Amino acid sequence: MSLRLVGSLGRSALESGIAIVLGLTVGALLMLAFGYNPIRAYVALFAGAFGTSSGILESLAFATPLMATAITFAVGVRASLFNIGAEGQMYLGAIGATIIGGTVFLPPGVHLVAATACGMIFGALWALPAAILKIWRGVHEVVSTIMLNWIAFWFATFLVRTYLGDPERAERAIPAMATARYQVIGETLTTVIVAVLLFCIITTIVLWRTGIGFELRLVGDNPDAAKYAGVSISRAILVSFLVGGLAAGLAGASQVLGRPPSWTLYATLGNILNLGFDGIGVALIGRNHPIGGVAASIFYGGLLNGGRYMEYNVGVSSELVMAINGIIVIALAIPEILTIVRRRRQR
Amino acid sequence: MSRKRRLHWYVLGIFIIVFIVVVISQVGFSLSQLVETGILAMTPLALAAVGECLNEQAGTVNVGIEGIFLITAVSGVYWAEVFNSGLYGLLLGSLTGGLIGLVLGLTCIYGKADQVIAGMGLNIMGLGLNPFLLLAIWALPGIHIFSRDLMIQPAQLGTESGHFDISPVTIAAIIVAVLAYLLLNRTLLGTRIRAAGENPIALDVAGVSVARVRLLMCIVGGVLAGLGGAFMPLGWFGGVTKDISAGRGFIALAAVVFAGLDPLLALAAAFIFGFSEGLAFTVVVAPGVKEIVPFYFVQMIPYVVTLLILTAAIGGKRFPRALGKPYVRE
């Protein structure tokens, strides 16, 4: 049993590795096509991300929200849902954290917990419409979650520009108060990473050690068997969306309460934009497992962090990293990528 | 839901549009501007939705339309500048879309990839590739405005007192929808396309390659989405930006679902969704309204309308039985 587990783990890791190599190769070809030096770019990227201790701390700070948004997608896939609403749920999470963290006075400790919880609840509430539409009307979650993402984008922008705006600086929301901030570990990494890791562990326990987790996975693995066993599919869908919403809300809150130097949300949402979409690729690299997602987040957080050095040193847009992520996702969509590669090698 | 009941929704939708038009003309907004913007917004949605109808009828889903929009918007402008012609921009933008459709089709049909995940990968790739290309080609982050001469000039209809502009691409989109309908329902290839989606085994037994039919439709879907993507800057906005498609690829998907894969109904759905966007644009600039309703809420209109219509009208529609499943010969 344990040997088989190790075998399948190794296979999963190998498949992710192949997809990553493929993504980086296509990225290099793109850079060559537009006259950049890919070797210099990647050296700048990886040296910046993992070459120094401060680089590693910064990469972990980039990884923290991705660990949470990866759960949103992973928990969806486990219940055979394609929940790509982490983006919008994360915006609302950041708003929830700003409301409590920036405008309400509470004692230290309580303030931090309340602001984090409020962010998570806001995220879950924003996941609710998609869940209800799916259960009640069968509206496909790919379309409904994207529409909700855009509505959330304009709603969050509206709030930051009006009621939650920083009176001193128009371009951002009220920063979280000192009592609502996670402690800085080093660079922009804060203890919010502990909260996120805790959430990952709890999600793993819920998915693999509880009845509702079993039902959720059964609905994903074999809906016919689930129906036959009397499992409520609606309930599994609802739980999956709510856990995903809590995770995405936590991701948004983590960027307000646990990310110096701004400790707030910009009106363009520029400091949290795309963290939800990045989570999709991270979840897939982590094979839709919360713990695998942590490992994948550290890798992808490194890419995001190092991408800035790549842009600064070589002039390549740091957003190439997202294109590479897309290619990795496409590669991971192919179920037999390992077999295909092996066959090629034997030939 | 039968076709008849679906028709009720369209009647209701058109009734609502007429109502809005009457209200708006009473309040004194520019009506022609509303309709002009509406059909401009309809065009990329209709092109992509009709292409996706064909694609899905043959059995493959492409949820990566947004990604195709993002990439072909840049590619269209790039080639338009290279050849100094908006028309070439449209053509090569469509070609880029076709190429992407081909690669995605190969991945899904021969690689047996999960179609939704692969399509989402394409979307993520587009989100990254678009700003990468903007910076790589024009050395400008996030936005590029090109020469007005490259814009596709609209045709003017009507009298000199109240003329009405319509882009030739819009006319092309309407023709394409009709042609797609005829292709599906009146030709041998159409029968084969529907068989590839409905009963691929039968098609295979009849000696027709399921993979080839599907791949062809992937390319067609990509070409049409690519034309829509290139149209956005070249026929509408006059510039290409980082977030140029702003969820339109998914609104096109909603139109496809709403239409139950019928190209003509997809055209109608694209009109309704496009009209809601035209409404948003009109209301944003209308005096008297922008003081009361914040701009941010007006911006939500297209997405809210899409959600509402999808919620109201979905259910009971039949999709091809083999949709989304790779065909494996037994």
Q: State the amino acid at position A295 in one-letter form.
A: A
Interface probe with A: pick from B130, B132, B310, most Cβ of A within 10 Å = B132
pLDDT of residue A28: 95
CB within 8 Å of chain B, chain A residues 90-129: 129
Number of domains into which chain A is organized: 1
- Could you read off the pLDDT of B98-137 as tens digits, one per residue? 999 999 999 999 988 889 999 999 999 999 999 999 999 9
Q: Does A325 touch chain B (CB under 8 A)?
A: yes
Instruction: Give, to the nearest 10 degrees, the angle between helix B115-138 and helix A275-285.
Output: 130
Residue A129: closest CA among B313, B289, B303: B303
Distance CA A199, CA A294 (A): 11
- B251 neighbourhood in chain A, CB within 8 Å: 147
CB B229 within 8 A of CB B76: yes
Neighboring chain B residues of A333 at a CB cutoff of 8 Å: 107, 113-115, 117-118, 121
How confident is residue A343, by pLDDT bands cut at 50, 70 and 90?
A: low
Q: Report residue B27's pLDDT band, with 50, 70 and 90 as the boundaries.
A: low
**Contact across the interface for B306 and A277, Cβ inside 8 Å:** no
| Residue in B closest to A147 by C-alpha | B303
Residue-wise pLDDT tens digits, A18-75: 999 999 999 999 999 998 999 999 999 999 999 999 999 999 999 999 999 999 999 9
Whether A325 is covered by a domain: the verdict is yes
pLDDT digits (tens, 9 = 90+) for B138-193: 988 888 988 888 888 888 776 655 667 888 999 999 999 999 999 999 999 999 99
Are B62 and B223 in contact by the 8 Å Cβ rule? The answer is no
Give A306-318 pLDDT, tens digit per residue. 999 999 999 999 9
If you average pLDDT over residues A130-150, what whole number do you get?
Answer: 91
Contacts of A269 in chain B (CB under 8 A): none
User: pLDDT per residue over B239-273, tens digit each?
Assistant: 999 889 999 999 999 999 888 899 999 999 999 88
- Count of CB pairs separated by less than 8 Å, A with B: 163
Indicate the residue of A140, A323, A330 with minimum beta-carbon distance to B128: A323
Mean pLDDT for B215-240 is 95
Is A148 within 8 Å of chain B by CB?
Answer: yes
Q: Which amino acid is at B57?
A: Q
Q: With an 8 Å Cβ cutoff, is B326 touching chain A?
A: no
**B38-57 pLDDT tens trace:** 889 999 999 999 999 999 99
Query: For the domain with range B3-20+28-152+165-313, which CATH number is right: 3.40.1000, 1.10.3470, 3.40.50, 2.40.360?
Result: 1.10.3470
Please report whether residue A9 resides in a domain: no
pLDDT at B64 over 90: yes
* ipTM for the predicted complex: 0.90
Q: Give the H/E segment covering residue A33.
A: helix A2-33
pLDDT of residue B329: 77
Average pLDDT, chain A: 91
Grouping H, G, I as helix, E, B as strand and the rest as coil, residue A259 is coil
pTM of the model: 0.90
Highest averaged pLDDT of the listed ranges A97-101, A316-320, B271-275: A97-101
Percent above pLDDT 70 for chain A: 95
Q: Which residues of B touch A283 (CB under 8 A)?
A: none
Asked if the structure places residue A12 within a domain, the reply is no
Nearest to B304 among A151, A280, A321 (CB): A151
Q: What is the pLDDT of residue A169?
A: 87
CB contact under 8 A, A155 and B300: yes
**A5-27 burial: b if 16+ Cβ within 10 Å, else e:** eeeeeeebeebbebbbebbbebb
pLDDT at res. B1: 44
Share of chain A above pLDDT 90, in %: 74
In the predicted model, is pLDDT for residue B237 greater than 50? Answer: yes
User: Where on the phi/psi map is residue A125: left (φ > 0), alpha (ψ -120 to 50), or beta?
Assistant: alpha
B283 vs A219: which has the higher pLDDT: A219
Instruction: Give the DSSP letter string of B93-122.
Output: HHHHHHHHHHHHHHHHHTS---HHHHHHHH
B111 touches chain A (CB under 8 A): yes
- DSSP 8-state code for residue A2: H
Asked if the C-beta of A142 comes within 8 angstroms of chain B's C-beta atoms, the answer is yes
Q: Find chain A residues with C-beta within 8 A of B120's C-beta.
A: 82, 84, 142, 280, 329
C-beta atoms of B112 and A335 within 8 A: yes
Rounded to 5 degrees, φ, ψ at A112 are -60, -45
C-alpha to C-alpha distance for A286 and A290, rounded to whole angstroms? 8
Domain that residue A332 falls in: 17-346
SS3 call for A173: strand
B145 phi, psi to nearest 5 deg: -105, 130
The sign of the dihedral angle between the CA atoms of A261, A266, A271, A275 is positive
Q: Does A328 contact B at CB distance below 8 Å? A: yes
In tens, the pLDDT along B193-222 reads 999 998 899 998 998 999 999 999 999 999
CB contact under 8 A, B120 and A329: yes
From A97, A94, A114, select the one nearest A155 (Cα to Cα): A94
Segment B217-240 shows an average pLDDT of: 94
**Tokens linked to B102:** 């081909």
Answer whether A162 touches B (CB < 8 Å).
Answer: yes
CB within 8 Å: B247 and A149: yes
In the block, tokens 């070249």 appear at: B234
**B250: closest CA of chain A, how far (Å):** 6
Nearest of A82, A114, A109, A105 to residue A283 by alpha carbon:
A82
A314 inside domain: yes
Instruction: Name the residue facing A154 among B104, B253, B299 (closest C-beta).
Output: B299
From the CA of A317, how many Å to the nearest CA of chain B? 5
CATH of residue A246: 1.10.3470
**Residues on chain B touching A323 (C-beta within 8 angstroms):** 124-125, 127-129, 132
Instruction: Indicate if the pLDDT at residue A1 is higher than 50.
Output: no
Q: Is A335 an 8 Å CB contact of chain B?
A: yes
